[in-house]
Amino acid sequence: MSLSSLFRKIGFIVGKRPKTIFLTNLFLFLPSLSYYLINDIKVETDVRRGFSPKNGRATVESKAFAEFYNVSIDGVDLVLIFLEPKTSDKRLIMNDKLLSDVEILDRYIKELSMEIKIDGFSEGKNDSQRVTSKGDMNYLFHAFKWAYQLQSTSLLLTSESNKQINLDFPISQIYGFDVLLDSHFFGVKLREGNNSEKFPSKIESVETIGIYYLLDGNNKNKNQMGILNNLELKFFNNINNGDLKDLTFKILIYTDQLANYEMMRSAKKITSLLGIGVVAMILFLVVAFWHFNWKSQAIFYKTINQEIMHRSGNKLPVS
């Protein structure tokens, strides 16, 4: 039997008994939904799980990353913040004011975790245990800022720079230690000539400053993930409306929770539209099949029968 003949017979059976086929499929399909009455629907909202397999290379690298910063790989939540000039034709001038504003932002983010209050936590846990920043990813930036202030003080008091501090780029030397800065400063412009000795750093200006944070939360604990979600959403909303609007730079933010929020918002919208389409299709099929009466089925059956006999080379029956 050829494939086309099989499809014709299937079409013939469906066309001959549309109501029976429709109701049979409906009664077979509906009981399967009872599974979700017994078991809760689990929706994966971690956007990172959609881009890397559980045993893939990215997971291995993430595990090493989490171990270095002393956090659990399941609970690590990454916050990336990039600071840029408020107008595209300008640059961020390296000075005490810029570094102080970055410190204000850094302190604001750390204090924000203490302000988030969500019910449902067990007794005896303080806020620092609920949401913590265990790994300071900005220690190189803090070292640069500390050395910059020391150098500024030395130039102010003695008019000479501290010889044990050389704030160059991409590597600065601070009391014999090499401090790599290319993970925090981007688009760096260095001072030229001997003029750089009159300033705390050879860095004249930058296009972008990057600072990063690790938030620790258990993605299996809805309360903890709710705290992270509210924390990051509150920070996102306060960038332009709140304490951060008067800073000398604009703030670009990426967080896992914001990515998850946008992903789920789009998925919910698509699902609702898909649901409307499915309901409309089912209603159309019900109306169409219900108007396909027995007389129409007999005519359809006779027509299909003649077509099959004609294709098989037999003579058409004489009515």
Extract long-range pairs of 308-313: CB within 8 Å, 24+ residues apart: 308/8, 308/12
DSSP secondary structure string for all residues of the chain: --HHHHHHHHHHHHHHSHHHHHHHHHHHHHHHHTHHHHSPPP----GGGGTS-TTSHHHHHHHHHHHHTT--TTTEEEEEEEEE-SSTT--EE-SHHHHHHHHHHHHHHHHHHHH---S-PPTT--HHHHSB--S-TTHHHHHHHHHHHHHHHHHHHHSS--TTEE--SSEEEETTEEEE-TTTEES-EE--GGGGGGSS-SEEEESEEEEEEEEE--TT-HHHHHHHHHHHHHHHHTTTSSTTTTSSSEEEEEEHHHHHHHHHHHHHHHHHHHHHHHHHHHHHHHHHHHTS-HHHHHHHHHHHHHHHHHHTTPPPPP-
Identify whether 316 is part of a domain.
no
Q: Are residues 88 and 173 in the same domain?
A: yes
**pLDDT, position 47:** 63
Identify whether 139 is part of a domain.
yes
**pLDDT, position 174:** 93
Q: Are residues 115 and 11 in the same domain?
A: no
pLDDT in tens, the chain (319 residues): 677 888 888 888 877 787 788 888 888 877 777 776 777 666 666 666 666 666 777 777 777 877 776 666 666 677 889 999 988 778 999 999 999 999 988 888 877 766 554 443 433 334 333 333 445 788 899 999 999 999 999 999 988 888 999 999 999 999 999 999 999 999 999 998 777 778 999 999 999 999 988 766 555 556 656 666 777 777 777 776 666 777 889 888 887 777 777 777 777 788 888 888 888 888 887 777 666 655 665 666 666 666 666 655 554 444 4
**pLDDT, position 134:** 44
C-alpha distances (whole Å) from 177 to each of 94, 104, 145, 165, 204 are 22, 26, 15, 9, 22
**pLDDT, position 119:** 41
State the residue range of the domain holding 75. Answer: 71-255
Smallest CA-to-CA distance from 260 within 3, 49, 62, 13 is with 49
Place of tokens 């300008």: 90
Identify whether 56 is part of a domain.
no
Q: Are 83 and 90 in contact (CB under 8 A)?
A: no
Identify whether 135 is part of a domain.
yes
Q: Are residues 232 and 285 in the same domain?
A: no
Q: Are residues 110 and 235 in the same domain?
A: yes
Number of structural domains the chain divides into: 2
Identify whether 49 is part of a domain.
no
Identify whether 181 is part of a domain.
yes
Q: Are residues 225 and 273 in the same domain?
A: no
Q: Are residues 32 and 89 in the same domain?
A: no
**pLDDT, position 94:** 94
Q: Are residues 146 and 280 in the same domain?
A: no
pTM of the model: 0.62
Between 222-237 and 96-115, two packed helices, what is the crossing angle to 10 degrees? 140
**pLDDT, position 153:** 92
Identify whether 251 is part of a domain.
yes
**pLDDT, position 38:** 74
